[in-house]
Amino acid sequence: MEDSKHDELEDMLNSYLEKFHAEFELYLQAIKDIRFLEVRRELNLPRDEILKTFSLTSKKLRDPFYIPEIIQLAYYMKENNFNYFQNYWNTYGYNHHEHGYRLKEILEKLQPLSEKIETFKAKKLEDLLEKKFNESKEKEIHISEPFIIHKFVSHNLPAHYDSYIQLINESAEVGDFYKVIPILLRCLFESLLYELFTDSLSLAHRDLYYNKYQKRARGFSQLIELLNFLKDNEYKPLVLNKINKITINILNEIKDIGNYSVHDTLGMIKRIHINDLKSKVDLALNHLLVSYDKLKGKNHEIESERLILIKKKFGLIKRKPGKKKKKKVFKKKKLNKNREDKRKMQVETKENIRIKEIWYFYDFLTNLFNLMEPIEKPENDLNFKDNRNYIYFKYQLKDEESSRDLTNEEVKHVIIDASDKIKRFYIELGFFPTINEVNEYISGYHLKLLYSRIKIEVNKVSVHRSKESLIPSPKNLKTVLSYFLSEIKKLIEDKISSNS
C-alpha cells in the first residue's frame, strides 16, 4: 500500500515538474518577443542568468531535490506575468495572465512537497553531522588556529552564532569532516545577511529579504543581490567601502560551493579548497560585521525610484488594486455619463497599447538594420547584377551579442521572423483586413515596403528602377535602409494622426 502511495506521489511530482519545464520554455520564448522595448529590456535576461539568480542550473532544474529553488523561480515568473501585463495581453500567442494562473496552480501543488524536501535536506545534514562526530568522538579536538576567529556576541548578535561557529571550527579539525564546511558557511552567511537587513532597513522593506508567500527568508542569491544594490547607495555613507565588489564575489563563491548536494560535497571538496577559503571567509566576515555595527538600528528608507528598480529585479512590483465602489446613489444621467467616460478611457488605453505595439515594430526594424553591413556583390552572380529593372545590394547580418557574422541559415530565420512582424504591422495599420490578403502582397518570406517596390531578402536588398529617384545620394545599402525606415515611420504617423 505504501509503495503504491509512493509511486502515486512520484508520478504527481514528475507531472507537475514537466508542466513547469514546459512553462519555463514558453516564458523564455515570450520574453524575447515582448513588444514593449522597456519591458523587454527588464525581463529578457539570458536563460543561465535567470537560473543562476535562483541557484539553479539546467541539470538542477530537472532534479526534485531542488524543488524549493524551482518554486522561487516559478513564483518570479508568475509575478512577472501578472504585474507587467494587462489581463488580455498576448505576446505572439502567449497570454501572460493565462500562463500566470497555470504557474499558480503548479505552485500550489509543489509547495507541500517543497516543505518535505527542506525537512529531508535538514535531516540528511543532521545525520551526516552525527555520523562524523560519532566516528571521531574518541578523538580529543585541539584547535590550534580556529577557522573562524570572530566572536558574534561582541557585535550584539544572538548567542547561537558562536555555538554555530564552534561547530565550523571543530569540523575543520576532525578527519574528513571539513567537507561539510561549505554547507555550514552558506547557512552562516545567509543568516547573517538576513540579520543585517532586518536590523538596518525599515520594516516597510521587509518583502525585499523575506518571502511571505513561502514564510521564509529569501534565497541566498537574492540576499546577495540585495546587498549588491544597497552597498553603493543606501549603505555607503555609513560603511564607506567596507562592503565592496570583493565582498560580493566571496559571498557568491560561498553560495556556489555551498549549493552542492551532500553527495557532491563529500566527493568534490578537498582540504586545499577549505584552506583557500579561510582567508576569504575572514575578510567577508570582517566587512559584514563592521558594517552591521554601523548600520544596526538605522531604519533606512529606500528612495521610491530605487525601490522600484529592486522590486522589478525580484519580480515584486504589484498592480494597483482597483478602487472599491462607493455605495452612493447617483442619478441615472450621471451614472450613464460615468459609464461612458469609463468606456472611453478603456478604449483609449487599448489604443495606446496598440500604438506602442506599432512603434515596437519600428524599433525592431531600426535595430535589425543597424546589424546589416554592406559587402561587395559577387561579379558574376546574376542574382546581384544590376539591370534595367532593378538595382541590388548585398549585406551581411551580425549577431547582436557576439558581433559574429550570421550564417545564411541564421539570416533566413531572422528574415522569416521579420516578415511575420511586417505582415502583422500592415494588418494593425489597417492596410490589409486579414492575413490572407497580406500574404498575397508579401508572398514568401521577405520585407516589402508598401507602395515603394523595395524588397529585403536573405542577404539581398532590391530597389525597382522606377523608385530609384526616391533614394537620396549616395545610393548605397545604408541610404536604402534609411529610406525604408523613414517610410515606415511616415505610415505610422499618418495613420495615428488620421485616427486622432
Per-residue pLDDT reduced to its tens digit, 149-175:
888 888 888 888 887 888 888 877 766
Predicted confidence (pLDDT) at residue 320 exceeds the cutoff of 60: no
Q: For the chain, give the mean pLDDT.
A: 78
Predicted confidence (pLDDT) at residue 319 exceeds the cutoff of 50: no
Would you place residue 131 in the very low, low, confident or very high pLDDT band (cuts 50, 70, 90)?
Answer: low
Q: What is the average per-residue pLDDT within 358-363? A: 80
Whole-number Å distance between alpha carbons of 82 and 50: 18
Q: What is the average per-residue pLDDT within 340-346? A: 49
Note the pLDDT of residue 126: 56
Alpha carbon 86 to chain centroid, angstroms:
19
Per-residue pLDDT reduced to its tens digit, 73-109:
998 899 888 888 876 788 888 888 889 889 988 888 8
Residues in the chain, total: 500
Label residues 85-107 b or e (16+ Cβ within 10 Å = b). Answer: beeebebeebbbeebbebbeebb
Predicted confidence (pLDDT) at residue 268 exceeds the cutoff of 80: no
Note the pLDDT of residue 27: 93
Q: What is the average per-residue pLDDT within 179-208? A: 87
Note the pLDDT of residue 437: 80
Residue 464: all three cell numbers together: 525597382
Of 125, 206, 191, nearest to 152 by C-alpha is 191
How many C-beta atoms lie closer than 10 Å to residue 473's C-beta?
A: 6
Would you place residue 117 in the very low, low, confident or very high pLDDT band (cuts 50, 70, 90)?
Answer: low
Would you place residue 330 in the very low, low, confident or very high pLDDT band (cuts 50, 70, 90)?
Answer: very low
CA distances from 53 to 89, 219, 457, 472 (A): 27, 9, 40, 49
Would you place residue 261 in the very low, low, confident or very high pLDDT band (cuts 50, 70, 90)?
Answer: very low
CA distances from 222 to 188, 208, 210, 341, 433 (A): 16, 9, 10, 44, 48
Per-residue pLDDT reduced to its tens digit, 449-481:
877 788 999 999 999 888 888 888 888 999 999
Residue 45: all three cell numbers together: 535576461
At CB < 8 A and 24+ separation, what contacts does 384-388 make? 384/460, 388/465
pTM (predicted TM-score): 0.45
Per-residue pLDDT reduced to its tens digit, 361-399:
888 888 899 999 999 988 878 888 888 888 999 999 988
Instruction: Please answer whether residues 243 and 292 qualify as being in contact, where contact means their C-beta atoms are separated by less than 8 angstroms.
Output: no
Note the pLDDT of residue 93: 82
Note the pLDDT of residue 143: 47
Q: Which residue has the higher pLDDT, 184 or 243?
A: 243
Q: What is the 3-state secondary structure (H, E, C) of the chain?
A: CHHHHHHHHHHHHHHHHHHHHHHHHHHHHHHHCCCCHHHHHHHCCCHHHHHHHCCCCCCHHHCHHHHHHHHHHHHHHHHHHHHCCCCCCEECCEEHHHHHHHHHHHHHHHHHHHHHHHHHHHHHHHHHHHHHHHHCCCCCCCCCCCCCCCCHHHHCCCCHHHHHHHHHHHHCCCHHHHHHHHHHHHHHHHHHHHHHHHHHECHHHHHHCEECCCCEECCHHHHHHHHHHHHCCCCHHHHCCCCCHHHHHHHHHHHHHHCCCHHHHHHHCCHHHHHHHHHHHHHHHHHHHHHHHHHCCCCECCCHHHHHHHHHHHCCCCCCCCCCCCCCCCCHHHHHHHHHHHHHHHHHHHHHHHHHHHHHHHHHHHHHHHCEEEECCCCCCHHHCCCCCEEEEEEEEECCCCCCECCHHHHHHHHHHHHHHHHHHHHHCCCCCCHHHHHHHCCCCCEECCCCCEEEECCEEEEEHHHHHHCCCCCCHHHHHHHHHHHHHHHHHHHHHHHC
Of 264, 315, 267, 295, nearest to 75 by C-alpha is 315
Would you place residue 116 in the very low, low, confident or very high pLDDT band (cuts 50, 70, 90)?
Answer: low
Whole-number Å distance between alpha carbons of 298 and 424: 54
pLDDT above 70: percentage of residues in the chain: 78
